[in-house]
Amino acid sequence: MFQETLEINTRGRGTLDITRAIQEAVARSGTATGLCHVFVQHTSASLILCENADPDVRHDLESWFAREVPDGDPRYRHSLEGPDDMPAHIRSILTNMDLTLPVSNGRCALGAWQGVFLYEHRHGGQRRRVIVTVS
């Protein structure tokens, strides 16, 4: 059982491609066939698998969330840290903080168009802890 923690600085709301960092961790684990579990230790950032070729996909995804889980909704009671606080929690729950990938031939067996992205939901950049476990 291999486990390590990555520390990733985000640049505010949006997606960050962490596919390479995950593949490198899997390579260090020496596992040929198994599972790679990725976990973000926060409640206002999440992990998604997303189309990795056209940046417009992540743009449109962000637009959808901005519309469906709006910042500063007057119905939110929880707004201690600002108008993006509560939406960040809802977005994280809808997109998840855990992700499990199959490992084949020593690598995460992603489809050709699949990338692993850390999705920051706060407007300000944050330092995020991501735990990678390979079994």
**96 near its own copies (CB under 8 A):** yes
**1 near its own copies (CB under 8 A):** yes
CB 11 → its own copies: shortest distance, Å? 20
> What does the DSSP 8-state code read for residue 73?
-
**13 near its own copies (CB under 8 A):** no
**107-108 and 98-104: which strand pairing?**
antiparallel
**Separation between Cα atoms, residue 133 and residue 31, nearest integer Å:** 11
Helix, coil or strand: residue 5: strand
**34 near its own copies (CB under 8 A):** yes
**Separation between Cα atoms, residue 65 and residue 70, nearest integer Å:** 7
Among 42, 120, 121, 122, binds its own copies (CB under 8 A): 42
Among 9, 94, 124, 125, binds its own copies (CB under 8 A): 94
Question: 90-93 long-range CB contacts below 8 Å, 24 or more apart?
Answer: 91/44, 91/46, 91/65, 91/119, 91/121, 92/42, 92/43, 92/44, 92/45, 92/46, 92/119, 92/121
**9 near its own copies (CB under 8 A):** no
**21 near its own copies (CB under 8 A):** no
Q: Which residues bind its own copies (CB under 8 A)?
A: 1, 3, 33-35, 37, 39-43, 48-51, 54, 56-57, 59-61, 63-64, 68-69, 75-78, 80, 86, 89-90, 92-104, 109-111, 113-114, 129, 131, 133, 135
